[in-house]
Structure 1
Amino acid sequence: MSALPAAPAATPPSSRAPRGPRGLLWTVLRLHRPALIVWVLASAAIAGYLIRLYALGDEVRAGMSVCGSPGTGRPLCSAVDAITADETYLGGLSLMATAVSYLMFPVAAWAGGALIGRELESGTADLAWTQSVTPTRWLATRLAVPAVLIASGTGVLVLLHNWARQDGAPNLTGDWYDPDVFLATGPAAVAYALAGLALGALAGMLTRRSLPAAGLGFGAALVLYNALDHYREDLWPLHLMETGIALAVAVAATAAAFALLRRRTA
C-alpha cells in the first residue's frame, strides 16, 4: 500500500516590520489621525468660506456708488463706504487673513507637543528605533509627512484668499500692508507654517516632554513672528525676503533637531 503524500508545510507568516516608506507613512498618519482630521476640516472650512466671500464680493462691488472728495458734488466716499460696503465681506476677509497668517502657532505647538515630544516622553520613539526604523528615518518621516500636508494646504488657502479679494480694493479688502493681510496674500504664509513645524520639532527634541515642548514651540514661533513683523519695513522686496528668512529659520531648526537626535542616539 502506497503512503499518502505529505502535505506541504505551511509557510510561516513573515514577522519582519515593513521597511519601505509606505509603512512609516501610514504609521505617522494613523498615529496622528486626530490632527489630520482637524487640519482637513479646518482647511475645508476656510476654503469654503473664502469661496462664499468671492461670490459675495461681486454683489458688494455692484452696490458701490460713485463717490468723490469734498467739493466735487458727489457723495463722500467715506459715507458711501459706510452705507454700501458689506461688513460681512470686509470682516470675513479680515478673519480669514488672520486665520491663515496665524497657522504657524498651532502647528508649532502641535509639532512640539504631539509630533515629537509625546513620542519621546512615552517611549514610542525608542521602541521604533529598536525595530527596523533608524532614528534619522524616524525624524525625517515625522517631519516630511506633515510638511507636505501643511505646505500644500496653506498654499491652496493663500491662492483662495487672493482669489476672494479680487481687485484688492482697500476699502473692501483692507490695506495690503496690514500684517495679517500681508502674510495671507503671499508665499510667506507657507514659509511661516513650515518654520512653525521645524521650531516645534526642535522644541520637542530639546525638552523630550509634550507639554513643555508645546509651550516652547509656540513661544519660539511667537518670537519669530514678532521679530519679522517689527523689521518688515526694512525688508525688500517684502514677501520674497521675509519668505527667505522664514525658510532659513525652518532649515536651521530642522538641522539642529537632526544634530541633537544624532548626538543623543550615538
Structure 2
Amino acid sequence: MSTIALRGPARVVMTQHRRALQILAALPVLAIAVLVGTWLWTDHVADAFAATGCSVEHTVPSCGDTVRDFLDRQLWMRDVLNWSGLLMMVLPAFTGIFVAGPVIARELESGTYQVAWSQSVTPARWLAAKLAVPAVVTLASVSVLSAVCAWAQTRENAIHHPSGRYSREVYGSIGTVPVGYALCMLALGALAGLLLRRTVAAMVVTVIGYGALVVALNAVRMDLWPTLTATFKPTSDYRFPDGAVDTGHGWVTSSGERLPDEACLSGLTDLKQCLADKDITHFSIDYHPASHFWPLQLVETGILLVLAAAAVALAFRVLRRRHG
C-alpha cells in the first residue's frame, strides 16, 4: 500500500505506523518462501530416500540410519507446519495489541489526537481511519497466510489424516476462522484503547480478552453444527469414517437409552456379562465427518464477525459520548 495513494487520516495512520504495517504485509511473502522451500526440500529428501531402496515399513539392518535420517527430515516438516499454525493462532492477538496500544490508546494518552481533530478531521473520521488501514492490511495478510498454510498441510498430507483438520493447530490456521479472529481482535483492541485510554492497560486487556475468546470458542466449537451418530453392534467390524473427529461415544440399550462409555469399559474381562446385565445391544459414536469442516468454520467465523461489528459500533458510541 502506498502512502501517496492515500489522503487525510488514512495517510497519517499509514505514515505513523508504516514499519508495523509493512511487517504485517511481509508475513505472507515470508510464509510462502519458508513453506514452499521446506516442501521442496522434503520432497527432494523423499525422492532420494525412495532411490535407496529402503522402506520405513520393512526396515532391514543396513537401512537403519537411512530410515532414521528420512524420518527426522519428515518430522522437521511437521515442526515447520506446527510453528506456522502457532503463528496463525497468535497473530490475531498481536493485531489487537497493535491497535489497542500504539494506534489508539497512545494517542489518547499523549493527547496527540487533538492535532488531527483541530484540522477539520472529525472524531468519527479519525477512528474510521484508525480501523480501516490496519483492517485492510490484516485482511489481506491473514487471508494469504491461511491459504498458504492450507496448501502446506495438504502437501504434507496431514490434512487427510483422521481428524487432522479438526486439531487446534490446523483448524486455527486454515479456512476463514483466522480472518475472523484477526478482525475481531482488531475491533476489540480499538474498543479497549478507547475505554481505557492507557497504552499498557489497553494492551493487557486485549490479550486477556483474546485468551478468554479462544477458550470459550474452543469449548463450544464442536457444538456449533449438529453431529452425526453411528450405532453398531460391539462385535461388528464398523470402520470410523476417514477425516472425521469423534465428539462422544457410549452404549445403547435395547430400549434406546444411551449410557456413557464408562458403563461397560471395553478393557474389562467380563465385558459380555456387563453388556448382558445392562441390556446393551449397540455402541454409538457421535462425530463430525470431514464434510462438516466448512460449516463449522463459517459458523465460528460468523460469530467472530458479529462480535467484531458489535465492538466497532460500541467503540464509535464511546467516542461520540466522550468527544461529541
- Contact 2:104/2:193 (CA < 8 Å) preserved in 1? yes
Question: 1:146 Cα shift?
Answer: 0.5
Name structure 2 gaps, 5 residues minimum: 226-294
Pick closer, same or farther for the CA change 1:60–1:100 going to 2, 3 Å: farther
Indicate yes or no: 2:140 matched with 1:155: no
Residue 36 of structure 1 corresponds to which residue in structure 2? 21
Residue 135 of structure 1 corresponds to which residue in structure 2? 123
- Contact 1:53/1:164 (CA < 8 Å) preserved in 2? no
User: Within 5 A, what are the aligned runs for 1:56-71?
Assistant: 56-59=41-44, 62=47, 63=49
Residue 7 of structure 1 corresponds to which residue in structure 2? none
Pick closer, same or farther for the CA change 1:59–1:176 going to 2, 3 Å: farther
Residue 112 of structure 1 corresponds to which residue in structure 2? 100
Of stretches 125-134 and 32-41 in structure 1, the one that deviates more from structure 2 is: 32-41
Question: 1:117 Cα shift?
Answer: 0.3
- Contact 2:39/2:155 (CA < 8 Å) preserved in 1? no
Residue by residue over 1:153-187, the C-alpha shift from the partner in whole angstroms, topping out at 9 and shown as x without a partner, is 01001111112223552399892111121011111
Letter in 2 for 1:45: L
| TM-score using structure 2 length | 0.67
Question: 1:54 Cα shift?
Answer: 3.0
> How many angstroms apart in 2 are the aligned matches of 1:51 and 1:98?
18
Pick closer, same or farther for the CA change 1:235–1:171 going to 2, 3 Å: closer
Indicate yes or no: 2:183 matched with 1:194: yes
Whose strand fraction is larger, Structure 1's or Structure 2's? 2
Residue 240 of structure 1 corresponds to which residue in structure 2? 298
> How many angstroms apart in 2 are the aligned matches of 1:208 and 1:234?
37
Residue 201 of structure 2 corresponds to which residue in structure 1? 212
Pick closer, same or farther for the CA change 1:81–1:179 going to 2, 3 Å: farther
Indicate yes or no: 2:26 matched with 1:26: no
- Contact 1:175/1:181 (CA < 8 Å) preserved in 2? yes
Pick closer, same or farther for the CA change 1:126–1:33 going to 2, 3 Å: same
| TM-score using structure 1 length | 0.81
Name structure 1 gaps, 5 residues minimum: 1-19, 69-73
Percent pairwise identity: 36
> How many angstroms apart in 1 are the aligned matches of 2:55 and 2:187?
50
> How many angstroms apart in 2 are the aligned matches of 1:171 and 1:227?
25
Residue 260 of structure 1 corresponds to which residue in structure 2? 318
Question: 1:67 Cα shift?
Answer: 7.0
- Contact 1:195/1:221 (CA < 8 Å) preserved in 2? no
Pick closer, same or farther for the CA change 1:264–1:244 going to 2, 3 Å: same
Residue 91 of structure 2 corresponds to which residue in structure 1? 103
Identify the match of residue 176 of structure 1 among 165, 170, 173: 165
- Give the RMSD, CA atoms, in angstroms: 2.7
Question: 1:59 Cα shift?
Answer: 3.5
Pick closer, same or farther for the CA change 1:240–1:220 going to 2, 3 Å: same
The aligned length equals 239
